[in-house]
Amino acid sequence: MNSERPAGFGTRAIHAGQQPDPTTGAIMTPVFLTSTYVQEAPAKTKGYDYSRSHNPTRTALEQNLAALEGGRFGLGFASGMAAIHCVLNLLRSGDHVIAGNDLYGGTYRLLRTLYDKFGLTTTFVDLTDLQQFEGAFRPNTKLVMLETPTNPLLRCCDLGAIAQICRRRSVLSMADNTFATPFLQNPLALGCDIVAHSTTKYLGGHSDVVGGALVSNDEALHKQLMHFQNSCGGTPGPMDCFLVLRGTKTLHVRMQRHCENALAVAQWLAQHPRVARVHYPGLPSHPNHAIAMRQMRAGGGMVSVELKATVEQAKQVCSSFGVFSLAESLGGVESLVDHPASMTHASIPAEERRRSGLEDGLIRLSVGIEDEADLIADLDRALQRLR
């Protein structure tokens, strides 16, 4: 890939970071199942000395993810939480964080139950309200953590505006791009400092691996993050890296179908008599539709729906599907349904959940790439439980 013009997304997805193996010509990056590397003389290595620090399969993945996000540096982690944990370690006791008020439950848990005891304080705000956001800054604010679209309400905040405010105040910004993926949205290009991913989701794409990643552009920042990655050792194994690398090759094709199916599902649900509200950034009725369409290529693969139902009925609906599987997680080729209040978001206190708009009757769909007609027939059958 040394042509003059920058390669398109699909070409980068398939080739970036990867060359045929020089000894055999194998077209696929080998899974380097090795912990150590033989040195020609003390400290004379071929660039690898120990696999917590570096492993060639991981290097290929890190370069591939950096290329997809349009960044210079990628870092692989054992999970999305290990990646986000790494970012928090840039801070010190006494620092202040501003975070979105409907962040991934695990990120909320990390801030609330593990980091506040080290004297790190966090203010949770609605990041779609820039005035509220600006009002949350304190002299000791060092980091802004955001997601867009958020989980599970799929609210979209203005990445460019938030990044600009952070830059003006010399505060770091981290965007968790797990839901949108680099195919749909590129936070670094809009001015964010760090992009975080749970590669467990769309990047891996096949529900067969847990992993995480960070991508950044600033070399000094990257070195700090890499120092932490190596010191704490939350790194992914080579087989995991191989699986994510295999997933990213088809990211663009999968995302196109995820988006088409999700839009069809959202449109179908929006006209259903037992549906109170559909949350999907690709629908014009979504409150952040305009900003979503400005910074995203399409609406994404996630749809949340508030049923005209009690909690018990909503749970019953969740257990009535034939094609959608009742499970946590998202972003795989197969469709999943989740009841956030009792599953993925159960660690957030009920009152706080409702205050941020997460109703008990909300169900979240990770729309897969099966046939659209089968997904809609399955939803139709399940919603008949509410008759």
For the annotated catalytic residues, the residue numbers are 52, 104, 176, 201
Which is nearer to ligand PLP, 32 or 104 (by Cβ)?
104
CA atoms of 196 and 175, how far apart (whole Å): 6
Contact between 380 and 322 (Cβ < 8 Å)? no
Among 173, 198, 216, 217, binds ligand PLP (CB under 6 A): 198
Of the listed pieces 123-131, 197-205, 355-363, 375-383, which binds ligand PLP according to CB under 6 A? 197-205
- Cis amide bond preceding 149, omega within 30: yes
- Cis amide bond preceding 42, omega within 30: no
* Interface mask toward ligand PLP for 124-163; x: CB under 6 A: -----------------------x---x------------
Of the listed pieces 2-10, 74-82, 264-272, 361-369, which binds ligand PLP according to CB under 6 A? 74-82
Of the listed pieces 54-62, 174-182, 294-302, 375-383, which binds ligand PLP according to CB under 6 A? 174-182
Among 104, 108, 228, 321, binds ligand PLP (CB under 6 A): 104
CA atoms of 263 and 12, how far apart (whole Å): 26
By CB under 6 A, how many residues form the interface with ligand PLP?
A: 16
Is 106 a binder of ligand PLP (CB under 6 A)?
yes
Is 202 a binder of ligand PLP (CB under 6 A)?
no
CA atoms of 190 and 42, how far apart (whole Å): 44
Per DSSP, the residues of 49-92 read SBTTT--HHHHHHHHHHHHHHT-SEEEEESSHHHHHHHHHTT--
Among 56, 204, 212, 300, binds ligand PLP (CB under 6 A): 212
Is 309 a binder of ligand PLP (CB under 6 A)?
no
Is 178 a binder of ligand PLP (CB under 6 A)?
yes
Q: Which two tokens stand for residue 380?
A: 């139709």
Among 29, 200, 229, 261, binds ligand PLP (CB under 6 A): 200
**For residue 216, what are the β-bridge partners?**
73, 194
Q: Which residues contact 55 (CB under 8 A, 6 or more apart)?
A: 32, 34, 48, 235, 238, 241
Q: Phi and psi at residue 135, in whole multiples of 5°?
A: -70, -15
- Minimum distance, C-beta of residue 200 to ligand PLP, in the bound complex (Å): 4
Residues engaged in binding ligand PLP (CB under 6 A): 79-81, 104, 106-107, 147, 151, 176, 178-179, 198, 200-201, 210, 212
